[in-house]
Structure formats: C-alpha cells, structure tokens
C-alpha cells in the first residue's frame, strides 16, 4: 500500500490544526481545575451565605459574629444549638501545630541527610521507602494512633508522671498527622535542596567548610524559599487531614489548647455531621458548609502565603 | 564520610598518622568537626526513625490482623453477625 505524500502547504495546515487541537486540549485541562474550584466555592456559598429558593442558608440563621467568636459548638442540640467555631478552630490548630513540631525537624533532617550525607545507593533505598509512608491511607494511620501510639507509647509515658491520658487526645492525633506529612516535607525539601547548584557546595568545601557548614549555612539558606513553601504545604495538609484525626482525636468540640484532651477538628466535624441522620436542610447540616468555607479560607490563605514566600525568597542561580 | 570530616584531629602531642593540617590547638576547628558529626548523626537518626515508624506501623497492623485474615473474610459480604462479615461488598459492590 502506498501513501500519497502531501504537498508542503497541506502538511503545514495539518500541523497547525494539530497545534490548535493540542492547545485547546491543554486549555481544557487547565480550565477543569479552575472550574472545579469555582464549583466548590459556589456550593459552599449557596449553602452557607445565600441560598436561592426556599432554602435558608447558614449565615441567614446564625450571625457571622456568633460563628467567629462563639466558644461553644453544639449544632445538634435543637433549640439550645450553639455555633461558635472556636472549639473546632482550637482543635484544628492544635493538631496542625503538633504535627508541624513532629514533621518539620524529621522531614528537614531526612531531606538534608538524603541530599547531603547519604550515598547514592542509600538514597535510592531511603527515598522510596519514605514515600511508602506517604502512600498509606489516613484511616490506617488513625487506627495506628488509636491502637498503638496512645495505648502503647503515650499512656505509659504519661502514667510515669501520674497523668491518665484519655484514649482520644489531640496529642496522639497531632503525632499521627506529623508522621503522615513527614514524607511530604522530606520529599519536597530534598528536591529543593538538590536543585541548589553543586558549585556552591564545592566553593564552600574548597574554603574549608565542614558538611554541617555547607548544609546549614549554604544549602539550606539557598533553598529556604522552597523549604518554607514545603512546610506551609504540609501545615495546610495537616489542617485538612480528616480520618486519622477523627479516629485518634475523638469528637469532643471544646475550646481548649490542652493537647491531652480530646479534640474535634473542622474536618472531623464535617465527616461526623455528614454521616449523621440530620435532615438535609437542617441548620446542623448547613453548618457543614459554613465550616467548609472557614476551612477553605484558612488553607487558601496558607497556600497564598506559601506562594508569596516562594516568589519573595527565591534564589536564582545561573 | 566526607573529605572534610575525614580530616583527623590529633590529640595533644600525638604524632601518629594520618597527616593532619589542623593544629592541635585549634579548638574552633575541633568544635566545628564535632558539630558536623553530631549533625550528621542527628540527620541519620531522624531519617531512620521515619523508617522505624514504617516498620512499627506495618508490624502493628499485621499483628492486629493475625488470626482474623481468612478467605471467608475476603469472600463474605455484609452481615449483622461480625464473625461472618467480610470485605467483598467494600471491594466489589456496595450493596453486598
């Protein structure tokens, strides 16, 4: 079978059509994520802020001030229902801060070790294993925290100082989430650290620097913007974590910063409420969307700060 | 160990090998090398601690599931009797 060869002008036209098709396909891919975000915002706003038709939105029944400043969260208490988000905010921030205290030193240390100290062979062995940690479902981490970390590690430790730790506590939830996000920080930071030009390291070694000097005073400052962005992404991830926290931290929404007590996070409440038996247009169900908006605003703010840090402190090498 | 870390620091009055170009009296360099070793050990520790967590996690899960994993658990669907309930509905069909 023979194929007729196209003249040059026809070939160019086909090529241009292919270009346009590919461009349109790529635009659709990009637009899909934007449309998804817009749809999420629309769903949240039409249920929390302004509801069209017969429905009444959450903020049409509860004032924004009560929502932001209230210290009691009791959405299912009927006439005595209270909608102050501070207990959920305390739980969420407490878990995220504990998770950061666990994951930032561990993740950064692992990143520095893999990029600056480990041999290529050791690195090839370490990195995939660390990434396995990132691939474990969060519900498994939840049960790991509930069945292992709390009863086998934290309870015996606290009993030494005479404290009876409850089985559901924010400390355990924070540690579990910290373990979960450690690979994220390690992997992102390691990529950033490895992208620092080799010439900087070689110059430092030539001037008599030790590995610590090179790591802590040359490489980490040079990669600081990426490392900070990785921390903020991990913090954002810790705030959004749901199942592990819901299982380990319990469902008690109390405005406290004591990590030895149980804590309900914003995502934990959303799971709890959406699987409950409240009516679809009840205020307790609508409160899911209000909490969703608060969560969206928090994570969006952190991501914007992360992007700003990345741009502001980026070191460009040629 | 790096070339910089490999530089030996002779103890006072030591004349043995390897050849060192660091003065025995230079405590600043000794301190820096010590710091470098401590930092290296710390980074190694946190990296392998993460691996240890993975091992502990897998061990805890396997230990907890021992005696409960069977073909019945794989092939059975939802049941009000927990000893007869299986995961097939979750894997294949929500309705069971």
Q: For B17-42, what is each residue's pLDDT tens digit?
A: 555 555 555 788 888 889 999 999 99
Q: What is the pLDDT of residue A289?
A: 92
Q: Which residues does chain B have within 8 Å of residue A212's beta carbon, measured at their own beta carbons?
A: 32, 35-36, 39-40
Q: Which class for A138: exposed (0-12), middle (13-18), buried (19 or more C-beta within 10 A)?
A: middle
The encoded tokens of residue B49 equal 């601690």
Element (H or E) spanning B53, and its range?
helix B27-65
Q: What is the pLDDT of residue B80?
A: 84
Residue-wise pLDDT tens digits, A272-293: 888 877 777 788 888 999 999 9
**Beta-carbon pairs below 8 A across chains A and B:** 81
Compute φ and ψ for A217, nearest 5 degrees: -110, -15
Residue A156 predicted with pLDDT over 60: yes
Q: Where are the domains of chain A?
A: 82-312
ipTM above 0.85, yes or no: no
Strand spans (E) along chain A = 73-74, 82-83
Task: Decide if A183 contacts B50 (C-beta within 8 A).
Answer: yes
Please name the member of A116, A182, A216 whose beta carbon is closest to the beta carbon of B50: A182
CATH class, A82-312 region: mainly alpha
> Measuring CA to CA, which residue among A293, A137, A223, A291 is closest to residue B61?
A137
Q: Tell which of B30, B34, B50 to mutate to test the A interface (max A CBs under 10 Å).
A: B50
Average pLDDT along chain B: 75
> Measuring CA to CA, which residue among A271, A242, A266, A91 is closest to residue A177?
A242
Q: What is the pLDDT of residue B24?
A: 58
- Cβ distance B43 to A130 less than 8 Å, yes or no, reads no
Closest-approach residue (CA) in chain B for A187:
B47
- Cβ distance B40 to A117 less than 8 Å, yes or no, reads yes
């Amino acid at each position: 079978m023979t194929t007729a060869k196209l003249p040059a002008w026809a070939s160019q036209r086909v090529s241009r059509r292919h270009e346009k098709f590919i461009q349109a396909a790529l635009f659709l891919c990009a637009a899909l994520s934007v449309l998804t975000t817009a749809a999420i915002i629309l769903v949240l706003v039409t249920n929390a802020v302004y509801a069209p038709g017969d429905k009444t939105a959450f903020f049409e029944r509860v004032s924004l001030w009560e929502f932001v400043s209230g210290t009691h969260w009791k959405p299912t208490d009927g006439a005595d229902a209270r909608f102050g988000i501070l207990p959920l905010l305390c739980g969420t921030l407490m878990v995220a801060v504990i998770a950061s205290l666990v994951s930032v030193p561990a993740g950064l240390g692992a990143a520095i070790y893999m990029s600056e100290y480990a041999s290529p062979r050791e690195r090839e062995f370490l990195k995939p294993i660390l990434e396995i940690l990132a691939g474990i479902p969060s519900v498994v981490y939840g049960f790991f925290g509930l069945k292992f970390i709390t009863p086998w590690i934290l309870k015996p430790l606290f009993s030494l100082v005479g404290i009876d730790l409850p089985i559901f506590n924010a400390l355990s939830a924070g540690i579990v989430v910290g373990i979960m996000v450690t690979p994220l920080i390690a992997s992102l930071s390691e990529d950033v650290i490895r992208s620092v030009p080799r010439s900087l390291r070689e110059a430092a070694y030539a001037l008599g620097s030790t590995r610590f000097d090179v790591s802590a005073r040359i490489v980490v400052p040079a990669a600081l913007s990426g490392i900070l962005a990785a921390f903020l992404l991990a913090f954002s991830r810790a705030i959004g974590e749901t199942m592990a926290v819901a299982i380990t931290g319990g469902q008690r929404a109390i405005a406290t910063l004591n990590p030895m007590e149980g804590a309900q996070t914003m995502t934990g409440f959303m799971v709890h409420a959406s699987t409950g038996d409240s009516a679809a247009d009840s205020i307790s169900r609508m409160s899911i969307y209000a909490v969703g908006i608060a969560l969206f605003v928090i994570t969006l703010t952190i991501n914007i700060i992360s992007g700003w840090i990345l741009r502001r402190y980026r070191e460009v090498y040629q | 160990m790096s070339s910089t870390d490999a530089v030996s620091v002779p103890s006072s009055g030591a004349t043995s090998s390897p050849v060192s170009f660091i003065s025995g009296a230079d405590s600043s360099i000794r301190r820096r090398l010590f710091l470098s070793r401590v930092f290296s050990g710390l980074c190694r520790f946190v990296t392998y601690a993460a691996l240890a967590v993975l091992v502990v996690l897998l061990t805890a899960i396997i230990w907890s599931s021992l005696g409960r994993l069977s073909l019945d658990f794989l092939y059975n669907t939802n049941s009000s009797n927990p000893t007869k309930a299986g995961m097939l509905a979750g894997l294949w069909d929500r309705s069971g």
